[in-house]
Amino acid sequence: MFRIGYGCDLHRLTDGASLRLGGISIPFNKTAIGHSDADALLHAIADAALGAAGLGDIGEMFPDTSEENRGRDSGEILALCLAAVEERGWRVVNLDCVVCAERPKLGALKQVMRDRIAGILGVSSDCVNVKAKTGEQVGPVGRMEAIEARAVILLERNNERA
């Protein structure tokens, strides 16, 4: 028995020194604005996982009105979402992600993000795919006003827990 889930996220960019994305910090002249650490990719993955398990969305679990979530590490948020998914008797088969960013160039960082995400989810890196696209210099992404991420995830019944 399988379940699929989809998640997407967007964060505005402002002048800064580093960008949090895919669970890693990337030196960059802009940073993402958000209540937590504003990691759009981990938020999209968390929403995909919650969605697949029928558990609502990340905003319900981690409200942006909560002081506890201010500046919070999204790796911790994703780990807690995964724990909730596993508690319902599901485990991750694989996920595929897209990051839309005009800059920084992410080619060399895709594998680092895959390894980090796989570590958080407790799966091997070949179960996590990260793709990078630019905004072709148009729209909020292309003008470097925002960064976007999308993720699709497949879960299967964990018979060891059932």
* Chain positions contacting Mg ion, by CB under 5 A: 9, 43
Contact (CB, 8 A) for 95 and 61: no
How many Cα neighbours within 13 Å face the side chain of 81?
Answer: 31
Task: Work out how close the CB of 61 gets to Mg ion at its nearest, in angstroms, rounded to a whole number.
Answer: 12
- Please identify, using beta-carbon distances, which residue of 20 and 43 lies nearer to Mg ion: 43
Task: Work out how close the CB of 106 gets to Mg ion at its nearest, in angstroms, rounded to a whole number.
Answer: 18
Beta carbons within 8 Å of 32's beta carbon, 6+ residues apart:
11, 12, 13, 19, 20, 21, 38, 39, 40, 147
Task: Work out how close the CB of 26 gets to Mg ion at its nearest, in angstroms, rounded to a whole number.
Answer: 16
Question: Residue 28 is encoded by which pair of tokens?
Answer: 């960059």
Q: Which residues pair with 146 in a beta bridge?
A: 12
Query: E strands, the chain, where?
Result: 2-15, 18-21, 24-27, 30-32, 90-100, 128-133, 146-157
- Please identify, using beta-carbon distances, which residue of 9 and 86 lies nearer to Mg ion: 9
- Please identify, using beta-carbon distances, which residue of 42 and 106 lies nearer to Mg ion: 42
Task: Work out how close the CB of 30 gets to Mg ion at its nearest, in angstroms, rounded to a whole number.
Answer: 16
- Please identify, using beta-carbon distances, which residue of 25 and 111 lies nearer to Mg ion: 25
Residue with the shortest CB distance to Mg ion = 43
